Amino acid sequence: MRIQAAVAREPGTLVYETLDLDSPRDNEILVRVVATGICHTDLSAIGQLLPARLPMVPGHEGAGVVEAVGAGVTKVVPGDHVVMTYDYCGDCRACDDHDHTYCHHAVERCFLGDRPDGSATLHDAERKVVHGSFFGQSSLATYALCYDRNVVKVRKDAPLALLGPLACGIQTGAGAVLNALDVNANTDFAVFGAGAVGLSAVMAAHVAGAPIIIAVDISDDRLEMARALGATHVFNSKNGDPVAFIRSVTDGGVLRSLDTSGVPTVMQQALAATAPRGVCGWLAGVDPALEVPVNPTFLLAGRSVKGIIEGESHDAQAFISRLIDLYMDGRFPFDKLCRFYEMDQLAEALDDSRSGRTIKPIVRFGDISGRGIDQ
């Protein structure tokens, strides 16, 4: 079928093109995309900072309506509302242990842009391949193919166009807190970076009942947002030492900290802010060429560093559904991070994401009925 999709042919640029999308094969699902969140991972992919192959269609925070399913699909039927999340192989040691976010073949499944058998899902007008399985979806398009394993069925009374960011950025921050770090009513918490991931972590820590929630950033506006979302303390690190501040308002440091910046000096600060027995979470997205010095003596007091991918949302169906329920109950107001852009405002959405003017841009391709989608 013919679709409209945002195609990156040169690093850093996206242009809408008419492409041919395959019909769903076994275990594949055709989704009419209602909206897709823009994540810094998309920017890194089209900027060639990740092993994504050009030409490609980005988009990995898609939400939409199931149009058709291939043989073997058991989770959804046409008409279901869905979110498309990260892909995984289902066969490696990590997947066998249901640790899907640590799939040994995550690079192939999420970045290389083709089906597991190497075939392409998208072709241009000259029948040349356009890589179209980014994170198992490539949802910056009017339609997308995803898989039975990375589709999440969602409740129909939730605002579908808003839900896409739960598939990655918001899931990452909230999951780091609720899954990987197990923040609870007995653990104080600090997050370094108040973007979409960091603010999602703040909301999750508030849901978990953490007695002290500290947000560190260099933007007063972001810190004000963090306070509104549940932070008990905020600190602008342009004005002083965040580690000293955190130690001053806790008993020598927090039991759980999280870095969302990927900046080595900030990652060091997040670790230094932990108390004895503390755990510091570092998220995926760090430049692989960078190194972060760690003093082993500091770790001897029971401290540890934990790498985290996708918030350890190993059962994305359960975890994303939980976040939606929390949102619908008024306890996880992630909509405050989001701004909608129409399909023809894609360039503005990308610029606003790069500059930080918008915390979480969402590009709309049409409403639930399909109106507004240009084929």
Please determine, for residue 373, whether its predicted confidence score (pLDDT) is greater than 60: no
Q: What does the pLDDT average to over 96-125?
A: 96
Cα–Cα distance, 171 to 364 (Å, whole number):
20
Interval 334-357: pLDDT, tens: 999 999 999 999 999 999 999 999
Q: Which of 14-28, 148-162, 276-290, 359-373 has the lowest mean pLDDT?
A: 359-373
Interval 177-226: pLDDT, tens: 999 999 999 999 999 999 999 999 999 999 999 999 999 999 999 999 99
Q: Which of 152-166, 289-303, 323-337 has the lowest mean pLDDT?
A: 289-303
Q: What does the pLDDT average to over 144-149?
A: 98
How many Cβ atoms are within 10 Å of 155's Cβ, its own excluded? 12
Please determine, for residue 369, whether its predicted confidence score (pLDDT) is greater than 60: no
Q: What's the fold here for domain 2-167+333-364?
A: Quinone Oxidoreductase; Chain A, domain 1 (3.90.180)
**Would you list the domain boundaries of the chain?**
2-167+333-364, 173-308
Identify the band that residue 11 occupies on the pLDDT scale cut at 50, 70 and 90.
Answer: very high
Cα–Cα distance, 106 to 112 (Å, whole number):
10
CATH 3.40.50.300 corresponds to the domain 173-308: no
Residue 196's nearest CA partner among 318, 360, 365 is 360
Identify the band that residue 290 occupies on the pLDDT scale cut at 50, 70 and 90.
Answer: confident
Cα–Cα distance, 314 to 97 (Å, whole number):
10
Interval 215-270: pLDDT, tens: 999 999 999 999 999 999 999 999 999 999 999 999 899 999 999 999 999 999 99
Q: What does the pLDDT average to over 38-62?
A: 95
